[in-house]
Structure 1
Amino acid sequence: MSAVIPRLAGDEWQRWANKLLTCHYGPTEYQTVPDNDKGDAGIEGFTVKNGHVYQAYGCEEPVSTKQRYEAQRDKMSQDIKKFIDNQTVLKKIFGSVEIERWILFVPYFDSKEIVSLASKKTAEVLAAKLPYVSDDFRVMICQETDFAVERDQLLNANLGTIEVQVEGATTDQVTLWASSNHSLSSILEAKLKKLPTIQNDKHRLEFHQKVLKWYLDGQSIHEALRIYPEVYEKILRAKNHRENFLAMTLISGAPPQNILNTTLNDLIEAFKSEIKLLSSFDAESLAHEAVADWLLRCPLDFPEIQNHD
């Protein structure tokens, strides 16, 4: 079982990073730089007073330390090249601001090699003698935990109630998913045979389909909530936190049906209490998705039924 918190990536991480940086520096101090017109200038935003330039990058997780470093290495190298090459554009963007730091802002880094690369890239930028770079310039890398105060402020902000509208998975879509993911579907089928409250194949098949629908409907809600990085991040944290303790259910001695019901109800209450801006309907749907996901991936299992003949 992985203890790694699933991370935001791509555009979702960029939006979240900009919120963190705006919260940290203030909206009149941190200037975002949109990239939807005439290409990417190679920066996410910059600060006016102290000349800090940020580029946000979140790679797809989970990956190994080596893969994470390689992805971050490539991103830093590509965008430092843009920082050097795009002098005409960047001079207009920075105006009179003198840049002292260029920072790759990532969800998480765990390799000293990326710090070494930052030192190498510092020398490259200084050697280019860019008109917008100070003599004290340095390339750096930072991660989300460096902005823990701002993260907690945003995650606990009262944003009102969010309720997303998604189309529920049809019977055909559930059947297609099961046939395309046969190994996961088979794992679920084997686990459901341990539930003594389901007495025949017909009811077991119906419940099998229902669990897969929980999963697919919840995945649709997850995708819809990605436009709210604060909410999405909190959902991932809450789900992951509880996943780390699921192994305890196997030694509880409780019947399988009790394990299933208790896990589901506890997670519904957790989502409702910890993510108050979620509607009750979405909290329940996401809890069902989490249980279905755990059943498919194996963090949640049931003890073998003991026959006492």
Structure 2
Amino acid sequence: MEHAAKKAAEFRTKKLPYVDDDFQIIIEDRETFDADTWNYRMLLRRRIRPVVPEPTDDEVAVVSDGDQTLADNLRTKMLKRVSDPSELEDVVDDLLRVFVHSENAKDALRSMAPDAYEDVVRLISERLRRLRLGSRRLVGDPLDAEIESLKTAILAAVPNLDPGTADTIALGAVSDWLMRCPLKLD
């Protein structure tokens, strides 16, 4: 503590433009926090961050060519959302890539943290069930809100999951739903 106070005083005397006149160094340790806060901070330090490479063209082709109805469903649904029809194939390819990337992220998560994987898969299934039941009532543009809501739910269930991984999984889940379920986007 004494060393920190000495260093803070040293910086204040330099009158640096980015150092406030009442600058001080505060050292916090475990005793500074209540048990719940400390446990949450430690959980976040054990961030689950799988390394997931971008999908290859071959991986995307396997999905696209494997069940042509999936890509056809995407084309049909996205045609209503794409303002320039010449961009439709690029949008479909992007969604297929997002889907494959998400599946790869979930596979990596399953290997790294099986409990977190189970939580994520359960949340996706619950959300899909809700969407299937309410798909006829969807108004406006629900996809962005659904992606963000699913990402938030995933991070609430697995708070130490890397937010980028949660975003990838949420985007892929919605892409999967667009291919497989009877969502009405009109």
Q: TM-score when scaled to structure 1?
A: 0.43
Identity of aligned residues (%): 24
Q: Which amino acid aligns with 1:263?
A: E
1:182 aligns with 2:64: no
CA distance in 2, matches of 1:259, 1:251: 11
Unpaired segments ≥5 residues, structure 2? 1-41
Name the residue aligned to 2:117: 232
1:215 to 2:99 alignment: yes
Question: Contact 1:194 / 1:302 at 8 angstroms: preserved in 2?
Answer: no
1:176 is displaced (CA, Å) by 4.2
- CA deviation profile, 1:28-62 (whole Å, cap 9, x unmatched): xxxxxxxxxxxxxxxxxxxxxxxxxxxxxxxxxxx
Query: In structure 1, the residue corresponding to 2:48 is in which secondary structure?
Result: coil
Structure having the larger proportion of residues in strand: 1
The CA deviation at 1:174 is 2.0
Structure 1 residue 172: Cα displacement: 4.5
Once the two structures are superposed, residues 264-294 of structure 1 have per-residue CA deviations (whole angstroms, 9 ceiling, x without a partner) of 1111111122210210110000001110111
Residues 183-217 of structure 1 show CA distances to partners (whole Å, capped at 9, x for unaligned) of 1111111111222xx12232211111111011100
Instruction: Give, as a single letter, the amino acid of the residue that structure 2 aligns with 1:211.
Output: L
Between the two proteins, the alignment pairs up a number of residues equal to 142
AA aligned to 1:261 is: D
Equivalent residue number for residue 270 of structure 1: 153
Deviations 1:141-182 (A, max 9, x none): xxxxxxxxxxxxxxxx94821100022113343234312221
Question: Which residue matches 2:15?
Answer: none
- Aligned partners of 2:47 and 2:161 also within 8 Å: yes
Specify which of 302, 306, 309 is matched with residue 184 of structure 2.
302
- Partner Cα separation in structure 1 for residue 72 and residue 145 of structure 2: 24
**Quick one: higher RCO (CA 8 Å, sep 6+), 1 or 2?**
2
Output the aligned Cα RMSD: 2.0
**2:175 maps to amino acid:** A
Distance in 2 (CA, whole Å) between partners of 1:231 and 1:277 is 9
1:243 alignment partner in structure 2: 128
Counterpart in the other structure of 1:168: 54
Q: Is the 8 A contact 2:77 2:185 kept in 1?
A: no
Higher helix share: 2
Residue of structure 2 in register with 1:205 after alignment: 89
Give every structure 1 segment of 4 or more consecutive aligned residues whose post-TM-superposition deviation is greater than 3 Å: none
| Separation of aligned partners in 2, 1:249 and 1:183 | 20
Q: Decide which of 242, 260, 264 is 2:143's aligned counterpart.
A: 260
Are residues 173 and 202 of structure 1, via their aligned partners in 2, closer, same or farther at CA, if it must alter by over 3 Å? farther
Query: 2:163 pairs with 280, 289, 293, which one?
Result: 280
Give the Å deviation of 1:250.
2.6
- 5+ residue gaps, structure 1: 1-156, 305-309
